[in-house]
Structure 1
Amino acid sequence: MRLSAEHAHLIRAQALELAGAQARVRLYGSRLHDHLRGGDVDLLLELPSLPANPALLAAQLAGRVSRALHGRKVDVLIDAPGLKQLPIHQIARSQGVLL
């Protein structure tokens, strides 16, 4: 995994602060592969209930993590009851690593 323990902790802390103690965050995508270079940080935020404004929550988490990672591009998917599920959600759940 091409993410330091410090950065993983920071991402988890930001997710918990924004989404609450029940939130879980997974890293998926190219950052899981040590042999690859570059790439954005792909995160899946798993929530037990529907947030008031999912798009705002995703943008807030992406912005905070991007700033902490010195401008690295961050993509955030939200998985919560009531939100549309796309194939990428299944990929992120099955291949992602819980931070």
Structure 2
Amino acid sequence: MVSAVKSCFGPQANVKLFGSRTDDQAKGGDIDLLITTDIHDVNDIVRAEMRCQVKLQQLLGEQKIDMLIDYPSRQNYPAIFSIAERAGLPL
């Protein structure tokens, strides 16, 4: 997963898994990823996210994958970002 994310968002990208998939006792659920990238342009970020969704679907099969993207010019941080940052497991 990490190599797929880095191929889309750049080699400096960091990935954290958060949500129900971090709990071995929980069954199923979607895959929640917090991705930190140094890409600045929002259009490039959207394209990278779409490429990454395709790559991860090819790698993992049909899965619901939610991505939170943190980038240098981001100005709005919903509460889920702090939860993901605090509770996420680095991949």
TM band (smaller chain)? 0.7 to 0.9
Name the residue aligned to 1:35.
Answer: 25
User: Equivalences for 1:1-99 in 2 at 5 Å?
Assistant: 11-53=1-43, 54-83=45-74, 84-99=76-91
TM-score, normalised by the number of residues in structure 1: 0.80
Shift of 1:82: 1.5
Distance 2:88 2:77 in 1: 16
TM-score, normalised by the number of residues in structure 2: 0.87
Percent identical pairs in the alignment equals 31
Name the aligned partner's letter for residue 85 of structure 2.
Answer: R
Which runs of 5 or more structure 2 residues have no equivalent in the other structure? Answer: none
Q: Does the CA-based 8 Å contact 2:18-2:33 persist in structure 1?
A: yes
Which runs of 5 or more structure 1 residues have no equivalent in the other structure? Answer: 1-10
Encode CA deviations 1:39-95: one digit per residue, 9 max, x unaligned: 011111101342452222222212221221110111111011212211111111111
Number of aligned residue pairs: give it.
Answer: 89
Q: Give me the CA root mean square deviation.
A: 1.4
